Structure formats: C-alpha cells, structure tokens
Amino acid sequence: MKPAAARRRFPGAHGDWARFDGPAGTQMVDSAIRAASDWSASGNNANTHGAFAAAHATDDLLERARGVVAQLLDANPNGVVFGANMTTMTFAFTRAVARTLKPGDRVVGTRLDHDANVSPWRIACEESGAEHVLAPFSPADGRLDMDALARLITPNTKWVAVTGASNLIGTIPDVRTVVALAHHVGARVFVDAVHLVPHMPVSVRAIGCDVLATSPYKWYGPHAGVMCIEPNLLNSLPVAKVRPADDVGPRRFETGTPNLACIAAVEAAARHLLEEDMRSVARYESDVFAPLLHGLLSMPRVRVWGPQTLDGRTPTVAFTVDGVPPDKVAESLAAKKIAVWSGSSYAVELVSHLGLTESGGVIRAGVVRYVTNDDVQRLLDAVALA
Ligand SMILES: Cc1ncc(COP(=O)(O)O)c(C=O)c1O
C-alpha cells in the first residue's frame, strides 16, 4: 500500500504532528477501532462457555482471535493468551515461575532489555532464592555480547529472558542462537518481542522459544498484551487461578472475564498486518528510516547510540545532542509538532550501561507505518537547530 493510502488508515495520525513516538505506542488502524465498536454494539457481549447464542459468539471471538494472532506470529493457537499488557502478563508469568525456582537455580537476562523483562525476573529470583544475572552488550555498537551470554548460561540456568529487539536503540539480537544455547542446558527462553513484532515478520516456531510476549498497541491495535506460551508449559505452570477456570489451555492464565471488545480489536489489528504483509512493512520502514539514521550520523553535534548501520535493527534510533539535555531537545521538537520520547524509555539497564543515566538518557525516534519521508526531513531540520 502506498504511504499516503496507508496513512489514511490511521485516524489518529491525520493531524500535522510528525509521530516518532511509535515505539511507545502506535495510533490504531481504522479496522481495529471499528472492530471494538462493532463488538460492543453487537449484542454478543457475554461470557464464555454458555448455552445461548451470545455466549457462543464470545467463545467464537476468542478462538478466532487466537487463530489470527497465531497466524501473524506463526505460533500454536492453543498457547495464545490475552491480557492487560506485557508487563502485567510477565509479572503473572514470573510469579508462577518463581514457584518452580529454588536456591542454586539461575535466571539469565540482558542489559539490552526493557525493564518489563528484567524486574519481574529479578523479583521472582529474590522471592525464590535463585540467582539473577544480566549479560552485557557492546556500548560501541549496541550488539548483545553473545560470548558473555554463553558463559552465563550454565547448567543450573532455568530461564533466559531476552529481548527480540531493543525498544531504545533498535538492536535485534540473534535470538535463535540464544534459544539453542539455553535449550542445550535444559533452560527455557522467554522472548520480549514487544519492539520486534511491529517491524519484522516473526515466527515463534522458527525462533523456537518457549514464550514470546507482544503488545498489540505497538502494532496499531488496542492497549492489550499477548503471550504465546508453549502449550505443555502453559498447562503445567503453577499459575494463580480460581478453581472453576479452565485447567488447560489459554483460559487457565487469563484471570477473570476477558476484555472482549479489546480482543476483537486485537484480531482486526493482526488481520491488518497479515494483509499488509510484514515483509512489505519492513521494507517501507527501512526506506523511510535510512535517511533518518544517515542524517543524524552526519551531524557533528549529534551522537547516535547503538547500531550505527541499518543491519540487524529496527527503524528506531537513540541519539543525544552535544550540550543539550535530552528532555530539552524533546521539548524543542514538540514545539514544532514533532513527537519523540526522551530519557530511558524504561530501558534502565541499557542507559546505565551506556553511562547516560545522570545526563538524562537519550532522545528516541521510531519510524512506524504512518511516518513519512517529509516527517523525517522535519525531524532532521529541527534537530539541526536544537
Ligand atoms: C520492549 C518492550 N518491552 C516491554 C514493554 C512493556 O509493554 P506493556 O506496556 O505492554 O507492558 C515495552 C513498552 O514500551 C517495550 O517497548
């Protein structure tokens, strides 16, 4: 779909703002907005497992939505679980994992990760007496230090929690190799794919991980979370559940009544990406992102943090401007109707490893489906004057 036609599908992106805040949340696609509204008006708002038509429609919605999300992520629909957001679901997941951990066990994470894939594991380790260690990355190019990670994955490792892509600097680690290293010692792998799924085709099957988490509001859907959990793991994990809830399948992890209108919108957003084709989304975003990265790299007062090339990354860049605090840069861009985030964007370990905590982190600009070449030129012109 051509950029102008694509942009028309996002009512929230119609204004005169240049929206580089996509990594923190995207504008919803029109079909997802309609799906939530249509469901709410349909009379099918009921609950699951009932004897009447609306209850059947509710079951059908859940089954259909799991199927479409599974298709988008090339995952097993029997392991697709819906929830409030990635952070809430990860805390619920790690609370269950904590009941399986004991002193002497190890959980390995990375300093590239968003804190939503660090603190839940840290707390699970504190509560169970297991050890929590984090693999570093190279400050020069933002690449995960795979040798250090391999050394940390010892025979007592039970879980490896790794990002599919850094939400701050865009690095895409070699997650398949991480899975091979972990599975070699019998450890399981949890992939935070929140920043990966909006930008690249993702196959849970090909990655081979045990859990993959994503947030539909980062891919043009509503505020929700999705987890793909390997079905045997899902059915055996000692999750906190009420007794009448299903003992097997996704409903054992989805506490209480699902947010049905929201799930209807998740289904529509996933369908949208399937229709768009993630390979063409990735191509479009890379074409728009290339001049942004090169423009920032060519500015003498600007420093780009993380990968310096277009390879193995998402279209998200972190930078600082000499002598100007990141918050001030964000404010001066906002005055020109350019939306970016400043600070750590919750990647607190990453910012600390770069030595940027005291100076206020970085400015982050991300390209998504409705960001255009004109937006990029406006951003570059404004940064040059910041
Ligand atoms: C990489 C990454 N992981 C996790 C999260 C947390 O997601 P949620 O807001 O769905 O809890 C975010 C949100 O910014 C993120 O970018």
Residue 296's contacts (CB-CB under 8 Å, 6 or more residues apart) are 302, 304, 317, 319, 380, 383
pLDDT in tens, 279-315: 999 999 999 999 999 999 999 999 999 999 999 999 9
* pTM score above 0.85: yes
Minimal-distance CA residue to ligand 1 atom 16: 167
Element (H, E) at 321: strand 316-321
Question: So what's the pLDDT on residue 121?
Answer: 98
Structure token pair of residue 133: 């260690």
pLDDT band at residue 6, thresholds of 50, 70 and 90? Answer: confident
Domain at 3-20+277-385, CATH from 3.30.70.330, 3.20.20.70, 3.90.1150.10, 1.10.260.40: 3.90.1150.10
Query: What class, spelled out in words, does domain 32-275 have in CATH?
Result: alpha beta
Residue 40's contacts (CB-CB under 8 Å, 6 or more residues apart) are 261
Q: What CA–CA distance (Å, rounded) separates 46 from 188? A: 37
* Residue 192 CA, ligand 1 centroid: distance in Å: 8
Pocket of ligand 1 (CB under 6 A): 24, 85-87, 114, 116-117, 163, 167, 192, 194-195, 215, 225
Distances (CA, A) of 118 to 90, 137, 173: 10, 15, 16
* Residue 215 CA, ligand 1 centroid: distance in Å: 7
By CB atoms closer than 10 A (0-12, 13-18, 19+), residue 5 is exposed
Distances (CA, A) of 326 to 316, 331, 381: 16, 9, 17
* Residue 50 CA, ligand 1 centroid: distance in Å: 34
Every domain range in the chain assigned CATH 3.40.640.10: 32-275
Mutate to test the pocket of ligand 1, among 26, 86, 117, 175 (most ligand atoms within 8 A of CB): 86
Q: What is the mean pLDDT of residues 345-362?
A: 98
pLDDT in tens, 305-336: 999 999 999 999 999 999 999 999 999 999 99
Q: What CA–CA distance (Å, rounded) separates 55 from 258? A: 13
Structure token pair of residue 176: 């398949």
Minimal-distance CA residue to ligand 1 atom 13: 24
pLDDT in tens, 105-140: 999 999 999 999 999 999 999 999 999 999 999 999
* Residue 170 CA, ligand 1 centroid: distance in Å: 13
pLDDT band at residue 3, thresholds of 50, 70 and 90? Answer: low
* Residue 199 CA, ligand 1 centroid: distance in Å: 14
Query: Rounded to the nearest 10 degrees, how much is the dihedral formed by the CA atoms of 317, 323, 327, 329?
Result: -70
| Ligand 1 atom closest to residue 90's alpha carbon, by position in its atom list | 11
Structure token pair of residue 272: 């949208």
Percent of the chain with pLDDT over 90: 97
* Residue 23 CA, ligand 1 centroid: distance in Å: 9
Every domain range in the chain assigned CATH 3.90.1150.10: 3-20+277-385
Using alpha carbons only, how large is the chain's radius of gyration in Å? 21
Q: What CA–CA distance (Å, rounded) separates 109 from 113? A: 8
pLDDT in tens, 249-262: 999 999 999 999 99
